[in-house]
Structure 1
């Protein structure tokens, strides 16, 4: 199942393909930049799914860092990838472990 299908299923939406595709593309591009990779590794695709859902749920509230109404309080993170920093670092560490013993010519 593709990331967009996972996101649509979890959000219970059908006719939001354009918005979701933009959100997923931006999320993938940001994760690729964080990883220094040209593609998102399959073992980290769940990050794209979860961050895409969080970003979709914040549509219309992008500039807010917090919001309180009648006792209900919402707070948004500055960086959607903070929750996954340990996972990203573990993936990087595993990649560097695989590079031991190889010679790279640049």
Structure 2
């Protein structure tokens, strides 16, 4: 049975589903951070893994939808779960952890 089938199977346990989602999130974050294969995600990014796993778990069965509504409750999903972490990811990739700095350039 494929991972996607397990996610949609009502007989799969919550832990099985969370393990699959976490594996996929870590793989995607690894690519975004520019890490070599089989490299662990740095611990300082564990909060990103946790938040994205929670978001994706709550969206099981609604993949590909921008919003879902039922009985007056409407959920709106982001296109990319990593968008709100873009600054942190970019800082890690570029090594610029201080952010933008003001300075002056002089040409001689």
TM-score relative to the length of structure 2: 0.67
Map 1:28-67 → 2, pairs under 5 A: 28-37=26-35, 38-67=39-68
Q: Superposed, which structure 2 residues align to 1:80-95 within 5 Å?
A: 80-94=81-95
Question: How well do the aligned residues superpose, as a CA RMSD in angstroms?
Answer: 2.1
Task: Give structure 2 stretches of 5+ with no counterpart.
Answer: 1-12, 99-108
Question: Which structure has the bigger radius of gyration?
Answer: 2
Q: TM-score, normalised by structure 1?
A: 0.68
How far is the alpha carbon of 1:84 from its aligned partner?
A: 0.5
Give the structure with the larger helix fraction.
Answer: 1
Paired position in structure 2 for 1:73: 74
